[in-house]
Structure 1
Amino acid sequence: MAEGEFKPAAMGVEAAPKPPFRMPVDSDNQATEFWLFSFARPHMSAFHLSWFSFFCCFLSTFAAPPLLPLIRDTLGLTATDIGNAGIASVSGAVFARVAMGTACDLVGPRLASASIILLTTPAVYCSAIIDSASSFLLVRFFTGFSLASFVSTQFWMSSMFSPPKVGLANGVAGGWGNLGGGAVQLLMPLVYEVIRKVGSTPFTAWRVAFFIPGLMQTVSAIAVLAFGQDMPDGNYRKLHKSGDMHKDSFGNVFRHAVTNYRGWILALTYGYCFGVELAVDNIIAQYFYDRFGVKLRTAGFIAASFGMANIISRPGGGLMSDWLSARYGMRGRLWGLWVVQTIGGVLCVVLGAVDYSFGASVAVMILFSFFVQAACGLTFGIVPFVSRRSLGLISGMTGGGGNVGAVLTQVIFFHGSKYKTETGIKYMGLMIIACTLPITLIYFPQWGGMFMGPRPGATAEDYYNREWTAQEREKGYNAGCVRFAENSVLEGGRLGSQSKHTTVPVESSPADV
Structure 2
Amino acid sequence: MGADPSDVTAEVIANKKFPYELDSEGKAKYVPIWRFTQPHMMAFHLSWLSFFMSFIATFAPASLLPVIRDDLNLTKSELGNAGVAAVCGAIAARLGMGVFVDIVGPRYGSAATMLLTAPAVFCMSLVTDYSTFAVTRFFIGCSLCMFVCCQFWCGTMFNVRIVGTANAIAAGWGNMGGGACHFIMPLIYQGIMNGGTPGYQAWRWSFFVPGGLYILTALVTLLFGIDHPSGKDYRDMKKEGTMKTKGALWPVLKCGLGNYRSWIFFLTYGYSFGVELTVDNVIVEYLFDQFGLNLAVAGALGAVFGLMNLWSRASGGMISDYVAKYWGMRGRLWALWIIQTLGGIFCIILGVVYNSLSQTIVIMIIFSIFCQQACGAHFGITPFVSRRAYGVVSGLVGAGGNTGAAITQAIWFAGTAQWQLNLPKYDGFKWMGVQTIAMTLPLFLVWFPMWGSMLTGPREGAEEEDYYLREWSAEEVAQGLHQGSMKFAMESKSQRGMKGQKSLDTIAETPAAAVKATVA
SS at match of 2:407: helix
Say if 2:73 is the partner of 1:69: no
- The one-character-per-residue Cα deviations of 1:112-159 (angstroms, maximum 9, x if unpaired) are 121111111100011122222221111111000000001110011111
Contact 1:262 1:386 in 2 (8 A): yes
Q: Do residues 478 (structure 1) and 482 (structure 2) align?
A: yes
2:330/2:451 contact within 8 Å kept: yes
Matched-pair contact (CA < 8 Å) for 1:85–1:137: yes
Q: Tell whether the 8 Å contact from 2:44 to 2:154 is kept in structure 1 after alignment.
A: yes
Residue 80 of structure 1, CA deviation:
2.4
CA distance in 2, matches of 1:389, 1:190: 45
**Shift of the alpha carbon at 1:164?**
0.8
Q: Which residue of 2 aligns with 1:389?
A: 388
Listed one character per residue, the Cα deviations across residues 304-358 of structure 1 (whole Å, up to 9, x for unaligned) are 1111111111001011111111111111111100000011111111211222333
- The superposition leaves residues 253-284 of structure 1 with CA deviations (integer Å, 9 ceiling, x where unpaired) of 11111110110000000000000111111122
Q: For structure 1, which segment, 103-112 or 127-136, has the greater mean C-alpha deviation from structure 2 after superposition?
A: 127-136
* 1:496 paired residue among 491, 494, 500: 500
* Alpha-carbon distance in 1 for matches of 2:205, 2:285: 24
Give, in whole Å, the separation in 1 of the partners of 2:384 and 2:184.
37
Match of 2:357 in 1: 358
Amino acid at match of 1:121: A
Q: Find the counterpart in structure 1 of residue 101 from structure 2.
A: 104
Which residues of 2 match residues 187-202 of structure 1 at below 5 A?
A: 187-202=184-199
- CA distance in 2: counterparts of 1:121 and 1:173, whole angstroms: 22
Q: Is the 8 A contact 1:51 1:173 kept in 2?
A: yes
- Give the superposition deviation at 1:16: 6.0
Q: For 1:190 and 1:294, how far apart are their aligned partners in 2? A: 15
What are the superposed Cα offsets for residues 223-268 of structure 1, whole Å, 9 maximum, x if unpaired? 1111111110121112222232222322111111111011000000
* Partner SS state of residue 161, structure 2: helix
Per the TM alignment, residue 73 of structure 1 is displaced from its structure 2 partner at its CA by: 2.7
2:460 match: 456
Contact 1:31–1:43 (8 Å) recurs in 2: yes
- Secondary structure class of the residue paired with 1:232: coil
How far did residue 10 of structure 1 move? 6.2
- SS of the equivalent of 1:164 reads coil
1:172 corresponds to 2:169: yes
The two structures have a TM-score, normalised by structure 2, of 0.92
Query: How far apart are 1:93 and its partner, in Å?
Result: 0.5
Q: What is the one-letter code of the residue matched to 2:495?
A: E
Matches of 2:44 and 2:12, distance apart in 1: 25
Q: Does 1:206 align with 2:203?
A: yes
Q: Structure 2: which amino acid aligns with 1:55?
A: F
Contact 1:285–1:300 (Cα < 8 Å) also in 2? yes
Q: 434, 438, 456: which is aligned to 2:438?
A: 434
Give SS of 2:170's match: helix
Distance change (3 Å), C-alpha of 1:53 and 1:342: same
1:369-397: per-residue Cα shift (whole Å, max 9, x none)? 00011000000110111111100010010
Q: Map residues 225-236 of structure 1 onto 2, 5 A cutoff.
A: 225-233=222-230, 234-236=232-234
TM-score after normalising by structure 1 = 0.93
Distance of 2:90 and 2:29 partners within structure 1? 32
Conserved? CA contact 2:81–2:410, under 8 Å: no
Residues 11 and 348 of structure 1: is their aligned pair in 2 closer, same or farther, counting only changes over 3 Å? closer
Instruction: Name the CA shift for 1:292/1:70 in 2 (closer, same or farther; >3 Å).
Output: closer
- 1:511 is matched with which residue? none
Find the aligned partners of 2:103 and 2:288 in 1 and give their Cα distance: 46
Residues 21, 58 of structure 1: alpha-carbon distance in 2 compared, 3 angstrom cutoff: farther
- How far apart, in 1, do the equivalents of 2:9 and 2:52 lie? 38
1:33 maps to which residue?
A: 30
Distance 1:413 1:365, change over 3 A: same
Q: Give yes or no for the alignment of 1:241 onto 2:239.
A: yes
Matching of residue 114 in structure 1 with residue 111 in structure 2: yes
Map Cα deviations across residues 54-110 of structure 1 (whole Å, 9 max, x no partner): 101110011112222322232222222222211111110000000011111111111
Partner of 1:92: 89
Aligned to 2:266: 267
Alignment of 1:369-448 (within 5 A): 369-416=368-415, 417-448=421-452
Whether the 8 Å CA contact 1:11–1:477 is kept in 2: the answer is no
Which one of 47, 53, 57 corresponds to residue 54 of structure 2? Answer: 57
Q: How far 1:12 moved relative to its partner?
A: 9.2
Q: Aligned runs of 1:131-170 on 2, under 5 Å?
A: 131-170=128-167
Alignment CA distance shift 1:456-1:15 (3 Å): farther
Q: Secondary structure at the match of 1:62?
A: helix
Question: Does the 8 Å contact 1:21/1:41 carry over to 2?
Answer: no
Q: Please, which moves more after superposition, 438-447 or 15-24?
A: 15-24
Distance in 1 (alpha carbons) for counterparts of 2:170 and 2:57: 18
Note closer, same or farther for the CA distance 1:69–1:294 as it changes in structure 2 (3 Å cut): closer
Asked if 2 retains the 8 angstrom alpha-carbon contact of 1:175 and 1:312, the reply is yes
Distance of 2:184 and 2:10 partners within structure 1: 48
Q: CA deviation at 1:487?
A: 1.4
Task: Give the root-mean-square deviation of aligned CA atoms.
Answer: 2.0
If asked which structure has higher relative contact order (CA below 8 Å, sep 6+), I would say 1
User: For the Cα contact (< 8 Å) 2:6–2:25, is it kept in 1?
Assistant: no
Deviations 1:399-454 (A, max 9, x none): 00000100110111111223222222111111111110111111111111111112
Measured in 2, the distance between the counterparts of 1:484 and 1:308 equals 34
Cα deviation, residue 174, structure 1: 0.4
Identity %: 47
Q: Does the Cα contact within 8 Å between 1:176 and 1:311 map onto a contact in 2? A: yes
Quote how far apart the aligned CAs of 1:296 are.
3.3
Distance in structure 1 (CA, Å) of the matches to 2:9 and 2:124: 53
Counterpart of 1:287 in 2: which secondary structure? helix
Question: Distance between the aligned counterparts of 1:205 and 1:17, measured in 2?
Answer: 52
String of CA shifts for 1:474-503, please: whole Å, max 9, x gaps: 22111111111111221110122244799x
Alpha-carbon shift at residue 17 of structure 1 (Å)? 7.0
2:335 aligned with 1:340, yes or no?
Answer: no
Structure 2 counterpart of 1:282, one-letter code:
N
Residues 249-260 of structure 1 aligned to structure 2 (within 5 Å): 249-260=248-259
Letter in 1 for 2:129: S
Equivalent residues of 1:314, 1:376 under 8 A apart: yes
Matched residue, 1:505: none
Q: Matched residue of 2:471: which SS? A: coil
For the residue of structure 1 that corresponds to 2:145, the secondary structure is helix
What is aligned with 1:309? 308
Deviations 1:4-40 (A, max 9, x none): x343x56999966734241311000010011011001
Cα deviation 1:187-207 (Å, max 9, x = unaligned): 111112222233322233222
Task: Give how far 1:161 is off.
Answer: 0.3
Distance in 2, matches of 1:258 and 1:37, equals 37
Q: Following the alignment from structure 2 to structure 1, what is the Cα–Cα distance between the partners of residues 326 and 144?
A: 34
CA change 1:119–1:10 in 2 (3 A) is closer
Moved more, 296-305 or 176-185: 296-305
1:384 is paired with a residue of what secondary structure? helix
Using the alignment, how far apart are the partners of 1:39 and 1:446 within structure 2? 37
